[in-house]
Structure 1
Amino acid sequence: MLARDALVALLLLTGFQTLYAVENLPVRVVKERKPCSGGCGRRGHCNYEEGRCECPWGYIGPSCEVDRMAVCRQTPDDPGSCGFIMPKNCECYRECFRLYCRYGTDTNKCANQMWGADAFDASCWLYGSEDRGPATDRPQDSSLYPKNPEQETVWFGRIPEMIGGTNYSGEELKLEDPGRRYKSPWDRPWLVWHRADNIAKPLSMCNNTCANGRGFCIQRPGSLEPECSCHFGFKGPDCSEEDPTTCWFSPTCSGRGQCRSGFCHCHDGSWGWGCHRSVAYHPATPGAVPDVRSKARLKIYIYELPWEIAFPFEVQEEIHSRDNIYTGYEQFMRYFLMDDSVRTENPYEANLFYVPALAYFYAENVRNSQWQIKAVIDHIRQQWPFYNRSGGRDHFVFMPGDRASCHSDRWLQDEIIKVVHFGMQKKNLTWLGIENKDYGCIQTKRDLVVPSRSVNTGPLLPNTTTSYYQWLVANRGYDGNRTLLFFFAGGIADGEYSGGVRLAIKLLLQNLTSPPPDVKFFEGSIGDRYHDLLQTCKFCIAPYGHGWGIRLVHAVHFGCIPVIIQDNVYQPFEDFLPYEEFSVRMRLADVPHMVELLRTYTEDQLAKLRLGLVKYYRAFIWEREFDGLAYEWTLAGLQRRAYHLDGEYFH
């Protein structure tokens, strides 16, 4: 018997399951499936790499038999939200606190920063009465809103954990405003999902009991009757229809499963975020960490995470959408899961490791996502050997928030590759209290700046962007419709906002004796005129804001030559994308002279810059249906980072 066959036979005898030598690799790595407990397929599916049952939101256990979020559900069909629009049993919010706040009672350290910040004064109820207090003869194991809440509930202003307590006896827990009873838990009129004047109603008062809890019953201000509002994953007048579009990373679950409330329930034999996994690899020698990484090909392994660690959950009941400009990472993940040329199921051959922390779901754009990323990394360190092997240097995570990692702790800034939209790097920065005095927010040879997605700013974007550029090629880059020199429209704020650029432009134009007629400046929003000006200006100003700015992407999508005024800020793919071929770069110090500087460009030079945009505009579009290549450019950037690892450019 050959030595290779003998090794396979030996491993079979020692208890390994279905072993195969991996093609074209040393026998140090073998295929092996670890079985899950019986019954896993009833509610979840088996992750044969870990031997773990992958469960939908709320369920845990070897067969997903334990309903961790039962106290947050009105019925078994209720997905079990931690949101604040439908008032919950206080014990629900306590379970959500245990889920999201792993690092002590400080809500600033909750993995779900949005939930932690808003939970402090979120009112809630317990079964009981205001006269007698919480019921002792009825378990607090559900959020089923009672038919007679006036007689069956006692209300509190917050849960005990918000004041470091363990029971409901503290004076600080009392609901100070009795008028807040029976209504959406908190009053946030400045938020998109402000619903404070909604009055909660029992399911029995709504159509078809909102399909048995797939929605909830609420009465809007000024409405004579309550109405159904559907939870994430359901739709229809009574929420009885499943919405198959909620699996954002793989809407079809790769054709190997069914989408249910954001969870791909995979057919047996498949598992993962989009049912994209089907093969499991393990070392031939248990406990070993074989290194079979290839230098010739980029191979990326993505971690599969349980819902308790990372899941695209329902942020708020009836608020199921995300701000489109922050969802470039969703597009990346969607294409990546389908990309078998780069994605590998064998972690031992991976050059890079994708950490899908889903930071935007947990921190949105303005909060600090480091606590969610820390929770994910802590889990990865415990379950796999690869992060510890490199100290995280060959791992990457998307941080799409406004300031990315600018205010993260130093360990996170130094360890992992961060894929961001905001590339500020400079020693001794003082902007907005950045503490890292060595390099600010990113290191350009390690971290990667990528473009954001664009909001739908008008008829040119994005479906006719390509046709405009085709027209531009036919006209050799000349566009006689662009008769204005430049424009800017948007918020100004103070001198710190945008590094002072917006304020400097405002002061420049105010101080001119005769404002030039071909320069347009607007403080605030201008509606549809914004995209009209993008099509009629030669130059479009692209500063940043309190973090990354969208105006560079807008300018490129509309064929307007971007004037980038962002001191110390690296732009998307700037280490290998030749910006000098399609843009103008200025410093804040140049703003007082920007009008005359821009007038020095001849029509021939402008045409040449526009032809540069023709060459590279697709790097700023994520959607492949609109000829976007941002995914491919991101892969190219990641491959450079893998190369930089071997160059020891950073530690």
Structure 2
Amino acid sequence: MQRHVLSLSPDEALAFAKREIENAPLVSEDPELYAPVFRNISTFKRSYEWMEYILKVYIYQEGTKPIFHDPHLIGIYASEGWFMKLMEENRQFVTRDPEKAYLFYLPYSARQLKSALYVPDSHNLRPLSIFLRDYVNMLAEKYPFWNRTHGSNHFLVACHDWGPYTLKEHEELKTNTIKVICNADASEGIFKAGKDVSLPETLIKNPRRTHRNLGGKRVSQRPFLAFYAGHMHGRVRPILFKYWSDKDEDMRIYGALPNRVSRNMSYPEHMKSSKYCVCPMGYEVNSPRIVEAIYYECVPVIIADSFVPPFDDVLDWNAFSVIVAEKDIPKLKEILLAIPLRRYLTMQTNVKMLQKHFLWNAKPVRYDLFHFILHSIWKSRLNQIQIPQSS
């Protein structure tokens, strides 16, 4: 890495790094990365190395608990809490000098915002949006950093389904910031692929054992073709249930897992015993089943037409998952059976090799989930930098 870059302004350093990444040396294999799951392992590796070398994040200290600086580490929305915890504890990437920052973090929790301010059954998210509007306006009055870029070098991390909808009272917050959200729905006009970041939804039951039940069975010990169990809300799951519940021994499709079934085999064991794990959208596009499938080495089958999968900018989801259009649910078994065994075995191996990029670690390690999320935010910031074309 070239040392003079550290003396440049953040925008100048980003421009230099962007040129270096575009001219990345060719990498065919790497001891820490598995090339078949990446779109371009060479540019990813170079980009990641530059992130490690120069990235600095300023975290606003304003805001009181529980909405700010109070990470919630369990449940299906735990991703936002884990990122907050690990970001605020980080020494490598965090700077106390905002003039040296490449990115500014708005350290609130969408889940905690909902718990603190939402009136149950009111169906009114406006108080949450007004709260965030007032917070951003306060920062803009107190510091010059928001107004310099109209918020484009600021980011927020929100896993709660309502995350995108709580931004609507502040146009710059909604439009300009880098939104790291689980509800990565490209059809609603709030999440912008290429600018915003699709956050993996991770169900954490015990924050001290985030790797609990990790791993799966070998392919020969996976007797079921496909498995799904869960609530029947949203537009997709009732269709899945209608066509495949109790219709076929190979297709283990349930609502909530019945007691008669769970007595013999738990939910994780079903995933570990299935070749494919069906991940249909619920009320919103994302589902913690996608990451669970990766944990249990089961090839995910994603059914959510407008969903942008996590890290789609660097990972090749076709290498380790099956994406089925909602209209093709009646043909689901036919689609899965048409996948040649050799291709399935490759996908299943890729899922295993991918696993470490979706793990939360109490102390982050290179290329884990914390770093992958941060890299996607860094990459979005890089995309804002225009490099003049040489004549």
Length-normalised TM-score, structure 1: 0.46
Aligned length: 326
1 or 2 for the larger relative contact order (CA 8 Å, sep ≥6)? 2
Find out whether 1:505 has 2:243 as its counterpart.
no
Given that 1:300 and 1:352 are in contact with CA atoms closer than 8 Å, whether structure 2 keeps it comes out as: yes
* TM alignment of 1:431-470, pairs within 5 A: 440-456=189-205, 462-465=211-214, 468=215
Residue identity matched to 1:636 = H
Question: Is contact 2:73–2:204 with CA below 8 Å preserved after alignment?
Answer: no
Listed one character per residue, the Cα deviations across residues 350-392 of structure 1 (whole Å, up to 9, x for unaligned) are: 1111111233212149954433322321221121100011000
Of 300, 303, 313, the match for 1:565: 303
Question: 2:319 is matched with which residue?
Answer: 581
Going from structure 1 to structure 2, the CA distance change for 1:348 and 1:309 (only over 3 Å counts) comes to: farther
Matched, 1:416 2:173: no
Secondary structure at the counterpart of residue 160 of structure 2: coil
Is there any run of 5+ residues in structure 1 with no aligned partner, and where? 1-22, 27-289, 314-319, 427-438, 473-477
Larger Rg: 1
Which aligned pairs between 1:55-66 and structure 2 lie closer than 5 A? Answer: none
- For the 8 Å contact 1:400–1:420, the answer to whether it is kept is yes
Residue 523 (structure 1) aligned with residue 255 (structure 2): yes
Matches within 5 A, 1:133-212: none
Quote the residue 2:45 is aligned against: none
SS of 1:324's partner is: coil
8 Å CA contact retained: 1:485, 1:538: yes
* 2:155 paired with 1:401: no
Give the conservation status (yes or no) of the 8 Å contact 2:180–2:199: yes
| 2:339 match | 601
Question: Secondary structure in 2 aligned to 1:405?
Answer: helix
Which has a greater percent of strand? 1
> Which of 60, 66, 70 pairs up with 1:303?
60
Q: Is the 8 A contact 1:463 1:626 kept in 2?
A: no
Alignment correspondent of 1:374: 133
Give the AA of the match of 1:521: I
Contact conserved, 1:582 with 1:612, CA < 8 A, in 2? yes
Give 1:621's aligned residue.
359
Q: In the aligned structure 2, how far is the partner of 1:632 from the partner of 1:568?
A: 26
Secondary structure of the residue that 1:378 maps to in structure 2? helix
Q: Tell me the residue number matched to 1:294.
A: 13
Cα separation, 2, equivalents of 1:359 and 1:298: 25
In structure 1, which of residues 517, 541, 559 is the aligned counterpart of residue 278 of structure 2?
541
Find the aligned partners of 1:291 and 1:541 in 2 and give their Cα distance.
43
Cα distance change, pair 338–312 in 1 and its aligned pair in 2 (3 A): closer
Do structure 1's residue 333 and structure 2's residue 72 form an aligned pair? no
> Which residue does the alignment assign to 2:149?
390
Cα distance in 2, alignment partners of residues 365 and 591 from structure 1: 39
- Contact persistence 2:184–2:199 (CA under 8 A): no
- For the residue of structure 2 that corresponds to 1:506, the secondary structure is helix
Give the letter aligned to residue 360 of structure 1. Answer: R
Taking a change above 3 Å as real, the CA distance of residues 394 and 555 of structure 1, as seen in their structure-2 partners, is same
Contact 1:365 1:402 in 2 (8 A): no
Q: Secondary structure of 2:277's match? A: strand
In structure 2, the partner of 1:351 is: 102
Offset at residue 344 of structure 1 (A): 1.6
Displacement of 1:334 = 2.6
- Cα distance in structure 2, aligned partners of 1:643 and 1:321: 30
Where does residue 641 of structure 1 map in the other structure? 380
| In 2: Cα distance, 1:614 partner to 1:340 partner | 30
Q: Which amino acid aligns with 2:180?
A: V
Moved more, 393-402 or 623-632: 623-632
User: Secondary structure in 1 aligned to 2:13?
Assistant: coil
**In 1: Cα distance, 2:295 partner to 2:378 partner:** 26
Shift of 1:299: 1.7
Identify if the C-alpha distance between structure 1 residues 377 and 334 changes in structure 2 by more than 3 Å, giving closer, same or farther. same
Which residue of the partner structure matches residue 342 of structure 1?
93
Whole-angstrom distance in 2 between the partners of 1:333 and 1:622: 12
Task: Supply the RMSD in Å over aligned alpha carbons.
Answer: 3.1
Higher helix share: 2
Distance 1:312 1:343 in 2: 15
Does residue 491 (structure 1) correspond to residue 228 (structure 2)? The answer is no
Corresponding letter in the other structure for 1:537: S
Question: Counterpart of 1:570 in 2: which secondary structure?
Answer: coil
Distance 1:525 1:647, change over 3 A: farther
Scaled by the length of structure 2, what TM-score is found? 0.74
Judge conservation of contact 1:359–1:373 (CA < 8 Å) in 2: no
| CA distance, structure 1, for counterparts of residue 102 and residue 96 of structure 2 | 12
- The 2-side partners of 1:601 and 1:546 are apart by 29
- Aligned twin of 1:242: none
The 2-side partners of 1:590 and 1:483 are apart by 24
Distance 1:405 1:596 in 2: 36
Tell me how far 1:401 sits from its aligned partner: 1.0
Q: Secondary structure at the match of 1:646?
A: coil
- How far apart in 1 are the matches of 2:302 and 2:6? 48
Q: Residue type matched to 2:175 in 1?
A: D
Distance in 2 (alpha carbons) for counterparts of 1:606 and 1:507 = 26
Unaligned runs of 5+ in 2: 18-53, 119-124
